[in-house]
Amino acid sequence: MKLLHTCDWTIIEWAELVSEFLQQDSSQPVVDGLKPLPSEEFHFWKNRRRNLLFIQQQLMSSRAQLVAFIVERAESVYWSTLRDMYRDVQEGVKEAEDVTLNLSPLQKKLEEVEQMEYQQLGENMASVLEEVLLVWIRSEFYCKPCRMVVLLQEICNLLIHLSRKFLRGEEVMHGLVSDPGLVLDDVRLVIWTLQTFKETYSQIRAQLEDQSQDRVSQSWDFPSHLVFIHLDNFLHRLQGIQEVFCVSLQLYQLDQVVLSGVNGRMWTDVAKNMYRDFLRHVTVLSHCNCDPTDSDDQSFELYLDQFQVQVSDLERRLVSVLSRALENCSVSSSAAKLVNMFGFILDRRLIQDQLRPYLIRLVDMVLMELDHTKLLFYSQREKSKTFSRFTPTAAAGLCWTQQLRLRAEDSLTNYRTVQHLCVDSGQLVLQRFQQIVDPLQDFRDRLKSEWSSQLDSDCGFVLEQPLIQFNQQGMLGVNSSHKLEAVLRELRYVIRERDMELRPHAAQLCTCRDDVTQNYLSLSHMVACYNQVVSDVLQVELPLIKDQLQDLNRTLSELQGNTWGSEGLQQLVKQQTDKVLMFHSSVTEARANTDAMTHIIQGWAELHLLQRSAESLLDGGATEQSYKRIREEGQELLRLTQVNRSLYRATDCSESWFRYLDNIDDKVQDGLFQLLLRSLHFLSDNMNPQSCSAALLAVSLQLKETGSVFEPSVGSGLSDLLTTIISDVYTAASLPPRISVRRQGNYQMSLQQSPELLALEQAVMQRLLRVREEAEHLRAGLDKYSHLWQSDRRGVMQEFLTYSRPLGPEELEAEETPPTLKDFQREIESLHRLSGEVTHLEEVKVLHGWLQVDLRPFRDSMLSIIHDWKNMYTEHLLDSVSDSLQQVTQCGGGGDDEESSSSSSFPPTETIILLETAGVKLPEHLSAQLQC
């Protein structure tokens, strides 16, 4: 009995433990208000199966079998309990194995989903729910509504978990200031994914209901809100976040708002202030310290409510600005632009309601504009001047009606800007629009019909006219050119009207319009070239091109026999045009060569054969350069005449060509004449005292042994120089080769006989004679100093030492009177005065305004001679001082000046003072003797 009692207690304890274990359910965390994931469901059933197998193994052990044997033999009341426990464990194992087996594919699928990119989840929602459906259909024990609700809730929890992980929780609101567009896209993706899951669930549930009617399987008749209770809360929170980001993105566009009009600047500033207030609110919301994706955290709702209040206030302020701006709009286009500008915010219900009166006013403006367009059409349609002055009347009328239609369409477009906001007025606006469009179309149809008739008549007239004709002045012209241009212009406008129906003549001309246009342009160009050759022909040129003109006139007669309606004109026009253009090109090139020759010849008149140097004197350095240019350009003239002979197709021995060369030859000779005339005028004008501005030639006055002379000589020297200059000027005319083949000699020989040039030569020589007289007078005036270079200094000194003065020519004998120091002083001072006079002589003197005389060589020579005279007297005094000092030294250094003078002519002290006054420095040996 003790053993039986022990076995009974063991069975009671086992039964309690097993019963407690079997009562465990995977839905307990859900019942407790937790949010378990599917992994916990899978883990629960795997553990349950393993534990039940272990319990089953324990119950089947030998010791457990022995207990069962004891209580069965003893007929214990707990034998049935043990038997029921065996049965419950067996059924539990069967249930756990069934559930584990059927949940395994769903577990694998969900594990795959967790490894996917979030963007791929929406595409896999169907496959996830299909696995759930298979569990419902296949599992014997799991096809219970309560378990399916728990499983679906756990899958919803998994989706919420993955969504929050994707959105990065607390970082969501930071995106309001960093990148709201990117965050909004992520939020929308999450909402779409979760809604896709719900839609897929509804589809599978409907599919199950259809199958249950066919008794294939049981439907999901449990309430859907039990499944999506947490998911719906999460979606509601996401939709709130989405609204915040949508509104923020809309209000961010306030920064780009710029209003125009009288008060536009003021309203723009108001909008900017609203934008700054909005940025402040957004910044506060972005720094909230909670996770907005946690739907259980209600603190975020406070931030959302506050932000919605702030947005509502901004909307009311924005409505105030918009209403004032719309009031200032006088036309529908400006109001439509304003609506487009603020279109980002007009979908807000508050703003729509407040702006409705102003949007209705915009509709009224559209109706008024349509009425005005209609009135304009009816009042101006019969006035052709309304259309255009520079376009065919019919084409301008069609263009005018098209502009009116576009104007009406613009008004309609302005209405469509707000049509979605004012739906009730759409029928009225379309009716008014049709009332203007229909009359416009009728008017266009009438214009086209009248235009087609008149155009056909004009085209028929043009097609019968010949291509070209000569007028009474012999000038060539394109026949009916103005009429043809008008028809072609109208055809160009006709082509633009795609529904324009053309009549036969107009259709014919329109078909070949490009060819006719090309022929007209070619003929117009040909006629212009022909008339240019004929009208600008030179008298000397006419004989050279006469034969070619006659040949062209014969070929052009063929064009006169064809009309604009003739066939095969393209080739004929091209051939005739090419001939005229070739002729025009040759003549034009020849005339250009002639102009080039004329330019060269005229350029010679601007050459500088004579010009002044940097010192303003005549410089012949430019002569050789001018010679070179004349020589080279003369060869160019000869070459151009030969080119023109080929262009004119002239023969070397024809009279017309000889006359042409003579004409060019006359121009060359005239050009050279102008060159020589200009050069000789330059020489003559610069030798004229009344017109010259600076010296032209220069000579210098030199002091030779024979006296003062000019270098070069103002006589033969200057005459030879001027003769050489004039000869060099004439030489320029001999440099270019002769153009005429019938005239002998060069151009110089012809020009040397010109009276005008000879008169200029004589004027130059006469001015040379006048300046020669003045130069001789100048030289003679300086001969007052001739005694200085003509006298014998030694003889004069000897005479001075003997008589103390120079003797006159009448004094043959005089009393010998040795000179005193005062006599020496007188002579030295006299020479000093002469030196001052010579020093102050003019360095350069200009005679007759054109001959520059350089007096500096004469002055320098004179100063040197005066210095020699002065040295002659001072050296004598120095010798006197030297003798006196030598005598003092020999006497032992005693005595005074009187004693020293006893053996000398002059007192040393006074002599030295006189020498110092004369600017003579004592030699070093005399200075040393004085110090001793």
Element (H, E) at 436: helix 426-463
| Least confident range of 175-189, 327-341, 601-615 | 327-341
Inform me whether the pLDDT recorded for 114 exceeds 50: yes
CB atoms within 10 A of CB 524: 16
Q: Is the pLDDT of residue 216 over 80?
A: no
At 897, is the pLDDT very low, low, confident or very high (cuts 50, 70, 90)? very low
Please give the average per-residue pLDDT across 737-741, as a whole number: 86
Q: What ranges in 258-298 are assigned the alpha helix state H?
A: 264-286
Of the two residues 759 and 491, the one the predictor is more confident about is 759
Under the banding of pLDDT at 50, 70 and 90, the label for residue 132 is very high
Q: d(Cα 553, Cα 540) in Å, to the nearest integer? A: 21
pLDDT band, residue 457 (cuts 50/70/90): low
Q: Which two tokens stand for residue 460?
A: 């028929």
Q: Report whether 150 contacts 30 (CB < 8 A).
A: yes
Q: Is the pLDDT of residue 903 over 70?
A: no
Q: Could you write out the DSSP letters of every residue in 544-556? A: HHHHHHHHHHHHH
Residues 670-684 pLDDT 10s: 998 888 888 888 888
What is the helix (H) or strand (E) element at residue 470, kind and residue range? Answer: strand 468-470
Highest mean pLDDT among 455-469, 629-643, 707-721: 629-643
| pLDDT score recorded for residue 901 | 41
Both tokens of 378, joined, read 């009816």
pLDDT digits (tens, 9 = 90+) for 832-846: 888 888 888 887 887
pLDDT for 902 = 39
Q: What is the mean pLDDT of residues 30-41?
A: 89
- pLDDT (0 to 100) of residue 605: 82
In terms of Cα–Cα distance, which of 474, 470, 363, 471 is closest to 417? Answer: 363
pLDDT at 836: 85
Q: How far is CA 523 from CA 469, 511, 581, in A?
A: 11, 20, 11
Q: Output the pLDDT for position 703.
A: 81
- Tell me the mean pLDDT in the region 79-87: 90
Backbone CA torsion sign across 225, 228, 234, 240: negative
> Does 256 score more than 50 pLDDT?
yes
Q: What pLDDT sits at residue 117?
A: 93
The three-point CA angle 77-81-83 to 5° equals 110
Identify the pLDDT of residue 639: 92
CB 698 within 8 A of CB 855: no
Q: 707: phi > 0 → left, psi -120 to 50 → alpha, else beta; which?
A: left
Output 326 or 655, whichever has higher pLDDT.
655
Q: Give the per-residue pLDDT at 546.
A: 82
- 84-98, 274-288, 353-367: lowest mean pLDDT where? 353-367
Q: Report whether pLDDT(331) > 80.
A: no
Between these two residues, 685 and 637, which has the higher pLDDT value?
A: 637
Q: Tens digit of pLDDT for each residue in 470-487?
A: 665 667 766 655 566 666
Asked whether the predicted pLDDT for residue 454 surpasses 70, the reply is: no
The pLDDT, as a whole number, for residue 386 is: 60
Q: Is 291 helix (H, G, I), strand (E, B) or coil?
A: coil
User: Is the confidence at residue 176, as pLDDT, over 80?
Assistant: yes
pLDDT level of residue 186 (50, 70, 90 thresholds): very high
**Mean pLDDT, the chain, integer:** 80
Tens of pLDDT along 781-831? 777 877 778 777 787 787 787 777 776 666 656 677 788 888 888 888 888
838: which 2 tokens?
């010579």
Burial 157-187 (b: 16+ CB within 10 A, else e): bbbbebbbebbeeeebbebbeeebeebbebb
pLDDT band at 227 (very low <50, low <70, confident <90, very high): very high
The whole-number pLDDT of residue 401 equals 76
pLDDT, tens digit, for every residue of 358-410? 777 777 888 888 888 888 878 877 765 565 555 555 666 667 777 888 888 88
Q: What is the pLDDT of residue 8?
A: 85
**Could you tell me the CA-to-CA distances from 685 to 465, 679, 688 in Å, in that order?**
69, 10, 5
Contact in structure between 113 and 154 (CB atoms under 8 Å): no
Of 21-30, 287-296, 473-482, 849-858, the least confident: 473-482
Q: By three-state DSSP, how is residue 648 classified?
A: helix
Band (187; pLDDT cuts 50, 70, 90): very high
How does residue 870 score in pLDDT terms, banded at 50, 70 and 90? Answer: confident
Amino acid letter at 704? K
Instruction: Look at residue 485 in the predicted model and tell me its pLDDT.
Output: 62
Tell me the two tokens of residue 775.
């130069």
Say yes or no to pLDDT of 620 above 60. Answer: no
Q: What is the pLDDT of residue 101?
A: 94
> What tokens does 290 get?
């909670």
- Which segment of 80-84, 488-492, 741-745, 805-809 scores lowest on mean pLDDT? 488-492
Question: Which of 171-175, 456-460, 804-808, 919-923 shows the lowest mean pLDDT across its residues?
Answer: 456-460
Across 132-155, average pLDDT: 92
User: Of the ranges 178-192, 346-360, 650-664, 891-905, which one carries the lowest mean pLDDT score?
Assistant: 891-905
Average pLDDT value for residue range 535-559: 78
Query: What's the confidence (pLDDT) of residue 564?
Result: 60
Residue percentage of the chain with pLDDT more than 70: 81
**Pairing between strand 851-854 and 697-704?**
parallel
Beta strands in 289-410 (DSSP E): none
> Across-strand partners of 466?
563
- What number is the average pLDDT over the span 589-612? 86
Closest-CA residue to 853 (of 776, 753, 743): 776
- Looking at the predicted structure, is the pLDDT value of residue 859 above 90? no
For the ranges 243-247, 519-523, 701-705, 713-717, the maximum mean pLDDT occurs at 243-247
Least confident of 68-77, 412-421, 730-739: 412-421
pLDDT of residue 45: 94
Return the pLDDT at 506. Answer: 58
Q: pLDDT at residue 621 above 60?
A: no
